[in-house]
């Protein structure tokens, strides 16, 4: 949004002139200030308990409050062209994330050298002063206008949606999970993270020697954990599936083995975990700056899905969204364009899927397509192109034309937009947690949380 600021030159300043500005203190302000100043005092970090009382304080740093005064002096009175000479401060109260604050300045004197003297103060939500002092500034000597239309934006890389998922899953009992071939540090650590957060109870299946070596590298004691020594990956995957049938496991988790080895055991006609749905993979993504979770599917299992497969891809994603708390998910069927073009087969599939949802053949969500990426997720882009409806610009689930497009989209969001990505395979009798060696701890935990929430919902 473009903002234009006007100043008041020194000669035009009159004693008693006042200016003020309101500001809502939000959690992101505290993180931005921590990064800019280097002050990582936990008293000021929204999710940290800085004094040991068992709850976060999220106290706005005093110098951040003082900076609000600087904003009024630099933007409003005297305005653009102003430079600080001195500032005294007394901090007589505290502000917290969520407080609406008002910074105020009042001109009290003019001195040689274009020095303007201001009484300065900041008030809290109830009007009580929390900062007060005196500023001396060098006022501009001529009238200036400043148009702030090219200020770089800031996106705080916090992953609040995954934090919410972890909070949702925390009260649930840990689900027994057959972890297949956790024979390296990354895959074993993912299972142990789920254990530490009481999301899963791992049953480790694979080469016991390699599992022990990975545990030693992590400095973790596996005493008391169930370990099934099966060095052959096909045998380990088959045993994991058998544990589900025996009622000992309610989820599967991929370790250091090829995905197709695990899924081959799941898909066996005799003794597998088939249902009337195809297996489909869903990335559940927490994209910084986006106000909701974003799901991308299918980016890991179905290479070139036909229309029948895409029906299951859409329905599986909708069902998963329900278990994550989205009552009526908005599903955007992606293509290169937003109009039906017989030369682009994915636009035909998109139109058919949308109509199938209208006729009740796909249930539980709002489905629209074809949509290009821009008008699927950006309301302004949708309006510019005249695309109406409840999905355009608001999509929470993105259905990609094929695995290549989905894989590229998910990795672009992860490595360029700094998203975290949880991964789960749907369509089997139990959820299957797929993690990547590139996943960090938050992504591995989120995958376990998604599986726990889905397992709890389907059990109910």
Q: Find out whether 220 and 196 touch, Cβ atoms under 8 Å.
A: no
Q: What is the pLDDT of residues 182-210, one digit of tens each?
A: 999 999 999 999 999 999 999 999 999 99
Cα–Cα distance measured from residue 421 to residue 104, given in angstroms and rounded to the nearest whole number? 44
Q: How far is Cα of residue 94 from the mean position of the Cα atoms in its chain?
A: 29
Q: Find out whether 115 and 137 touch, Cβ atoms under 8 Å.
A: yes
Q: Which of 47-51, 77-81, 240-244 has the lowest mean pLDDT?
A: 47-51
What band does 1 get if pLDDT is binned at 50, 70 and 90? low
H or E element: which one contains 371? strand 366-371
**DSSP β-ladder status, 200-206 and 280-286:** unpaired
Mean pLDDT of 299-309: 95
> Which pLDDT does position 160 carry in this prediction?
81
DSSP string, 183-213: -SHHHHHHHHHHHHTTSEEEEEEE-HHHHHH
Q: Which of 46-50, 60-64, 119-123, 301-305 has the lowest mean pLDDT?
A: 46-50
Domains and CATH numbers, the chain: 3-148 (3.10.129.10), 277-427 (3.40.718.10)
Q: How far is Cα of residue 164 from the mean position of the Cα atoms in its chain?
A: 10
Cα–Cα distance measured from residue 399 to residue 367, given in angstroms and rounded to the nearest whole number? 10
Q: What is the pLDDT of residues 415-429, one digit of tens each?
A: 998 898 999 999 999
Looking at the chain, the number of H-run helices and the number of E-run strands are 13, 19
What band does 157 get if pLDDT is binned at 50, 70 and 90? low
Q: What is the pTM of this model?
A: 0.78
Handedness of CA 262, 267, 268, 271 (dihedral sign): positive
Tell me what percent of the residues of the chain surpass a pLDDT of 70. Answer: 98
DSSP string, 116-179: EEEEEEEE-TTS-EEEEEEEEEE--SS--EEEE--PPP------HHHHHHHHHHTTSPPEEEEE
What band does 395 get if pLDDT is binned at 50, 70 and 90? very high
> Which pLDDT does position 2 carry in this prediction?
66
Reply yes or no on whether the pLDDT at 75 is more than 90: yes
Which pair of tokens denotes residue 32? 């931005």
Reply yes or no on whether the pLDDT at 350 is more than 90: yes
């Amino acid at each position: 949004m473009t903002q234009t600021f006007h100043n008041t030159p020194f000669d035009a300043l009159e004693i008693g002139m006042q200016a003020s500005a309101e500001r809502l203190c939000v959690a992101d302000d505290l993180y931005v200030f921590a990064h800019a100043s280097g002050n990582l005092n936990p008293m000021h970090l929204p999710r940290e308990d800085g004094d040991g009382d068992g709850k976060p304080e999220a106290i706005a740093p005093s110098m951040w409050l003082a900076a609000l005064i600087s904003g009024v002096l630099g933007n409003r009175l005297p305005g653009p062209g102003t430079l600080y000479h001195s500032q005294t401060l007394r901090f007589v109260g505290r502000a917290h994330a969520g407080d609406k604050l008002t910074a105020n300045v009042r001109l009290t004197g003019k001195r040689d050298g274009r020095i303007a003297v201001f009484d300065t103060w900041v008030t809290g939500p109830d009007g009580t002063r929390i900062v007060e002092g005196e500023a001396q500034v060098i006022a501009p000597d001529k009238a200036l206008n400043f148009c702030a239309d090219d200020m770089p934006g800031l996106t705080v890389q916090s992953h609040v949606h995954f934090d919410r998922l972890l909070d949702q899953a925390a009260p649930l009992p840990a689900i027994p999970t057959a972890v297949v071939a956790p024979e390296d540090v990354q895959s074993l650590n993912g299972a142990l993270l789920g254990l530490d957060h009481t999301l899963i109870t791992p049953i480790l299946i694979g080469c016991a020697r390699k599992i022990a070596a990975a545990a030693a590298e992590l400095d973790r004691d596996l005493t008391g954990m169930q370990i099934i020594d099966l060095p052959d990956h096909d045998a380990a995957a088959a045993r994991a599936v058998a544990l589900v049938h025996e009622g000992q496991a309610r989820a599967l988790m991929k370790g250091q083995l090829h995905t197709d080895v695990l899924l081959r055991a799941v898909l066996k006609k005799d003794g597998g975990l088939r249902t009337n749905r195809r297996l489909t993979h869903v990335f559940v993504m927490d994209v910084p700056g986006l106000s909701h979770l974003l799901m991308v599917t299918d980016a890991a299992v179905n290479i070139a899905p036909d229309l029948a497969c895409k029906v299951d891809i859409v329905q599986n994603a909708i069902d998963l969204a329900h278990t994550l708390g989205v009552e009526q998910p908005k599903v955007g069927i992606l293509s290169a364009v937003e109009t039906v073009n017989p030369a682009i087969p994915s636009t035909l599939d998109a139109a058919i899927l949308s109509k199938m949802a209208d006729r009740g053949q796909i249930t539980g969500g709002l489905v629209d397509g074809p949509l290009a990426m821009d008008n699927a997720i950006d309301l302004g882009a949708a309006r510019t192109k005249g695309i109406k409806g409840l999905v355009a610009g608001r999509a929470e689930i993105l259905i990609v034309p094929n695995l290549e497009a989905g894989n590229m989209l998910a990795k672009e969001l992860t490595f360029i937009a700094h998203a975290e990505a949880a991964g789960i395979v749907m369509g089997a009798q139990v959820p299957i947690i797929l993690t990547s060696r590139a996943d960090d701890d938050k992504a591995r935990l989120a995958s376990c949380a998604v599986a726990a929430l889905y397992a709890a919902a389907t059990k109910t």
